[in-house]
């Protein structure tokens, strides 16, 4: 519908006509130009001029052309199909083909009157339904939210949700706060009749464990209609194609509705991703044994540091330090003497050099290896130490004029030390500990040193260091200038019945010195080491130049290999100054990878491993939960029907008075002066007047 309106009173049009009439009369009323050739022409010319002037003046009144546009929106009907694995257990073969035919019939019937959209739900909501039933997860509450997000702002007429009501992620969809105002019709699939079934419901375990630790695994076993049967739970470790039995637990099922929890204690004996297989033996007549086993993956971390205590000769200090270090489960401590053969210090993460270099043993070869491998170290300088060589091998303390004389010194914590936080008890109690023995000489801390302890002789606090840490040539180093640490540990126990102060001082010192800094120029980082089978494997890489600045000039290739030897070849994408790779979804199993690049003529390679674990949630809940569907329908003004009633659903929706089209009206306003045909009329009137005058001899 279209109408014309003015921004001024409509009766102003009279003035427009009068203006046009007056202008025409002024020009043509007394005009006798065409009296002989065309006696009545001046009347027609006056009429044309009157119309053109009247039309032009009318446009000055700003006339508006208003149009009302009407649009009818059909109701949107969303057909949502649960495509999780549990549906596929019930719908297969001829039963599935019949269901697909009836689903298509419902869709076609509704399409004549409504706007129909299909949506698959399961792992995630998505457009389209393929009836493959391969989703590993059922999240019905997220499905309802996804429907609202996609169609909530449209004329949503009704939602049809076909499911078995089983959800293993998210919350009960009936309790979701999503404000869907349309009725929800649910199609109840699956079987609610309990079958004879023995299954592993859940396995609770740590996601990570440390090498050498013991951990507990809790197994929840359930059974339906299996009273009077016997079975056994086995826990095995899977390593490639080898399956090693770890424990067996007999189980007696004494009632039809049976549930029991069993605990097993296992040991993390190998670093990497550990795969365990938990299985319960089937019973005669069991409906399905697909849920009688479950695979468990754990990330076993080798956080232990190999610490070598290399000594010039036996000394009670070695025992004191070793007991402190071994109290930390992440330390693996080894003791060797300089006279032992076959010492390879490159195999260790941290080295304590006790009375080395000594007066009789030069350790130049060992120091060369430590420096090449950038292995942190702690010097404990006692009475056998060769101080002239020690002064050369560390850059934290200037050592001069050392004699055969000794000083008995105590330690006082430096107030300026801030590399790590010391327990206040150490600061308070340590000055009272028995003195240790130091060689007499001149000792001064260098600029690179951080002094932990100053020497205290008697009641005098000196400016000579006793214990310092720092970094020389990029390697963390510590120096203790005394002998007799066993006295401190023993005194600590005598005073406090524990070794807390001694362990705090030297435990944190070693921890600080041995803390690894990643100095690699090429690194590959995994989002995590264990991926679910329905998520993409993501990797990142970083490459550094000699100044440790990020660069991604060269390409980085990677080969991912599964346990059967199949290779997957990829090239990293360049992202910013780093690298990124989405390897996609990989089959379940254990994988190793090797990433390679060449930069400045040097080949860089990083190796690693990860695992992809199966998601088995859909296997462990086989009884349909139609109560959830019924509750969802009742709360939203819909109705529950069963799978064999699918052909009746279209009529139920059509008879629902709330499912109706919505009429939208839009008013469109356009100034009349913008219309091209108005210009055409004006041009025609003026052109006709000019043509007639020209034709009959005027102008």
HEC assignment per residue over 3-32: EEEECCCCCHHHHHHHHHHHHHHHHHCCCC
CATH number of the domain within which 571 lies: 2.60.40.1930
Is 594 domain-assigned? yes
Residues 659/75, Cβ–Cβ less than 8 Å: yes
Domain boundary among 270, 301, 332: 301
pLDDT, average across residues 516-531: 80
Q: Say how far apart CA 517 and CA 287 lie, in whole Å.
A: 56
Burial (0-12, 13-18, 19+ Cβ within 10 Å), 197? buried
Mean pLDDT of 258-269: 89
203 and 277 fall within a common domain: yes
- The answer to whether position 206 is within a domain reads yes
Of 464, 497, 514, the domain-final residue:
514
In a 13 Å sphere around the CA of 565, the CA atoms on its Cβ side amount to 1
Give the gyration radius of the chain's Cα atoms. 44
For residues 198 and 229, the answer to whether their CB atoms sit within 8 Å is yes
Q: Note the pLDDT of residue 307.
A: 93
Q: What is the DSSP letter of 458?
A: T
Residue 676 domain-assigned? yes
**Residues 179 and 232 placed together within one structural domain of the fold:** no
pLDDT score of 581: 93
Per-residue pLDDT, 618: 67
Residues 656 and 690 in one domain: no
Burial tier of 181 (Cβ tally within 10 Å: 0-12, 13-18, 19+): exposed
Rounded to whole angstroms, what are the CA distances from 114 to 60, 107, 440? 48, 10, 99
Closest CA to 472 of 546, 415, 397, 380: 397
Tell me how many domains the chain contains: 5
Query: By CB neighbour count within 10 A (0-12 exposed, 13-18 middle, 19+ buried), where does 455 fall?
Result: buried
pLDDT exceeds 80 at position 459:
yes
In this prediction, residues 476-497 reach a mean pLDDT of 92
pLDDT in tens, 88-147: 877 888 888 999 999 999 999 999 899 999 999 988 888 989 888 888 888 888 888 899
Q: Is the pLDDT of residue 266 over 70?
A: yes
pLDDT digit string, tens, across residues 242-263: 889 999 999 999 898 899 999 9
pLDDT classification of 305: cutoffs 50, 70, 90:
confident
**329 lies in the same domain as 440:** yes
Dihedral pair phi/psi, residue 57, rounded to 5°:
-70, -30
Whether residue 289 sits in one domain with residue 418: no
CA 95 to chain centre: 40
- Is the pLDDT assigned to residue 699 strictly greater than 60? no
Which pTM was predicted? 0.56
Please state, in angstroms and rounded to a whole number, the distance separating the CA atoms of residues 84 and 166. Answer: 9
Last residue in a domain, options 301, 327, 351: 301
Model confidence pLDDT, tens digit, residues 104-116: 999 999 998 999 9
* Arithmetic mean of pLDDT, 670-681: 82
Shared domain for 125 and 253, answered yes or no, is: no
Co-location of 457 and 318 in the same domain: yes
Average pLDDT, the chain: 87
Strand partners, 525: 540
3-state SS assignment for residue 529? coil
pLDDT reported for residue 104:
92
Per-residue pLDDT of 164-202, as tens digits, reads 888 878 888 877 777 788 899 999 998 777 788 888 888
Rounded distance, CA 572 to CA 285, Å? 52
Q: Is residue 177 part of a domain?
A: yes
β partners of residue 161: 80, 186
pLDDT tens string 217-248: 999 998 888 888 999 999 999 887 788 999 99
**200 bridge partner residues:** 221
* CATH number of the domain within which 459 lies: 3.40.50.880
Q: Please report the pLDDT score of residue 401 as a whole number.
A: 84
> For residue 698, what pLDDT band results from cuts at 50, 70 and 90?
low
| Element (DSSP H or E) covering residue 90 | helix 85-90
Backbone phi, then psi, for 351, in 5-degree steps? Answer: -130, 130
The answer to whether residues 345 and 491 belong to one domain is: yes
pLDDT value of residue 607: 87
Residue ranges of alpha helices (H) inside 341-466 are 364-372, 387-393, 424-429
Q: What are phi and psi of 84, to 5 degrees?
A: -80, 165
In a domain, 620, yes or no: no
Q: Is residue 618 part of a domain?
A: no
Residue 645 CB contacts under 8 Å (≥ 6 apart), including other chains: none
| Spatial distance between the Cα atoms of 600 and 603, rounded to a whole number of angstroms | 8
357 and 462 in a single domain? The answer is: yes
First to last CA, the chain: 46
Pairing of strands 305-311, 350-354: parallel
Decide if pLDDT at 157 tops 70.
yes
Shared domain for 642 and 679, answered yes or no, is no
Give the residue numbers spanning the domain of 42.
2-68+669-695
Which region holds residue 132: left if phi is over 0, alpha if psi is between -120 and 50, else beta? alpha
- Sole residue written with tokens 């100034």: 671
pLDDT surpassing 70 at residue 62: yes
Look at residue 320 and tell me whether its pLDDT is greater than 90.
Answer: yes
Residue 621 lies in a domain: no
Q: Are residues 386 and 455 in the same domain?
A: yes
Q: Are residues 633 and 650 both part of a single domain? A: yes
CB 82 within 8 Å of CB 164: yes
């Amino acid at each position: 519908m279209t109408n014309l309106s003015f921004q001024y009173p409509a009766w102003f049009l009279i003035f427009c006509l009068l203006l046009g009439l007056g202008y025409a009369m002024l020009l043509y009323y007394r005009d006798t130009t065409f009296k002989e050739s065309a006696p009545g022409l001046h009347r027609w010319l006056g009429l044309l001029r009157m119309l053109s002037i009247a039309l032009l003046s009318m446009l000055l009144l700003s006339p508006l052309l208003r149009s009302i546009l009407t649009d009818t929106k059909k109701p949107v009907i969303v057909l949502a199909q649960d495509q999780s694995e549990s549906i596929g257990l019930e719908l297969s073969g001829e039963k599935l083909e019949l269901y697909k035919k009836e689903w298509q019939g419902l869709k076609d019937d509704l399409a004549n009157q409504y706007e129909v959209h299909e949506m698959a739900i399961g792992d995630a909501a998505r457009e389209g339904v393929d009836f493959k039933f391969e989703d590993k997860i059922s999240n019905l509450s997220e499905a309802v939210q996804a429907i609202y997000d996609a169609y909530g702002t449209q004329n949503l007429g009704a939602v049809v949700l076909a499911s078995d009501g089983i959800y293993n992620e998210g919350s009960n969809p009936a309790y979701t706060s999503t404000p869907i105002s349309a009725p929800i019709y649910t199609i109840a699939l699956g079987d609610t009749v309990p079958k004879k079934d023995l299954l592993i419901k859940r396995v609770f375990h740590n996601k990570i464990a440390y090498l050498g630790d013991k951990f507990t695994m809790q197994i929840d076993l359930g059974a339906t209609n299996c009273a009077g049967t016997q079975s056994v739970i086995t826990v095995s470790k899977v390593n490639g194609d080898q399956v090693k039995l770890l424990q067996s637990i007999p189980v007696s099922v004494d009632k039809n509705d049976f549930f029991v929890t069993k605990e097993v204690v296992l040991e993390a004996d190998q670093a990497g991703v550990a795969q365990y297989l938990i299985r319960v033996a089937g019973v005669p007549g069991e409906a399905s044994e697909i849920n009688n086993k479950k695979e468990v993956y754990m990330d076993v971390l080798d956080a232990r540091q190999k610490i070598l205590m290399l000594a010039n000769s036996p000394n009670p200090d070695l025992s004191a330090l070793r007991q402190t270090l071994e109290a930390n489960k992440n330390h693996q401590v080894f003791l060797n003497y300089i006279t032992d053969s076959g010492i390879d210090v490159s195999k260790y993460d941290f080295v304590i050099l006790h009375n080395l270099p000594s007066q009789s043993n030069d350790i130049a070869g060992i120091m060369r290896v430590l420096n090449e491998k950038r292995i942190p170290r702690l010097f404990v300088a006692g009475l056998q130490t060769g101080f002239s060589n020690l002064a050369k091998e560390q850059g934290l303390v200037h050592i001069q004029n050392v004699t055969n004389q000794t000083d008995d010194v105590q330690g006082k914590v430096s107030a300026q030390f801030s590399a790590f936080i010391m327990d206040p008890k150490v600061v308070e109690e340590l000055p009272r500990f028995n003195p240790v023995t130091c060689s007499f000489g001149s000792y001064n801390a260098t600029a690179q040193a951080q002094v932990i302890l100053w020497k205290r002789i008697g009641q005098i606090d000196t400016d000579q260091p006793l214990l310092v840490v720092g970094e020389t040539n990029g390697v963390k180093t510590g120096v203790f200038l005394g002998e007799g640490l066993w006295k401190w540990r023993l005194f600590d126990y005598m005073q406090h019945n524990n070794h807390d102060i001694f362990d705090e001082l030297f435990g944190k010192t070693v921890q600080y010195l041995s803390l690894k800094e990643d100095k690699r120029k090429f690194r590959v980082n995994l989002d995590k080491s264990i991926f679910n089978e329905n998520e993409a494997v993501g990797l990142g890489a970083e490459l550094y130049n000699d100044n440790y600045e990020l660069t991604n000039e060269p390409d980085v290739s990677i080969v991912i290999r599964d346990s059967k030897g199949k290779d997957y070849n990829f090239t990293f994408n360049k992202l910013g100054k780093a690298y990124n790779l989405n390897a996609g979804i990989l089959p379940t199993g254990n994988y190793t990878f090797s990433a390679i690049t060449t930069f400045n003529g040097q080949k860089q390679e990083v190796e690693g491993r990860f695992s992809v674990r199966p998601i088995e949630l859909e296997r462990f809940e086989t009884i349909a939960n139609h109560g959830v569907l019924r509750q969802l329908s009742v709360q939203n003004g819909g109705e529950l029907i069963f799978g064999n009633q699918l052909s009746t659903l279209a009529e139920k929706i059509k008879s629902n008075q709330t499912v109706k089209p919505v009429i939208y009206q839009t008013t469109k306003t356009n100034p009349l002066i913008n219309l091209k045909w108005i210009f055409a009329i004006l041009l025609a009137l003026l052109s006709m007047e000019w043509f007639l005058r020209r034709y009959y001899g005027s102008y």
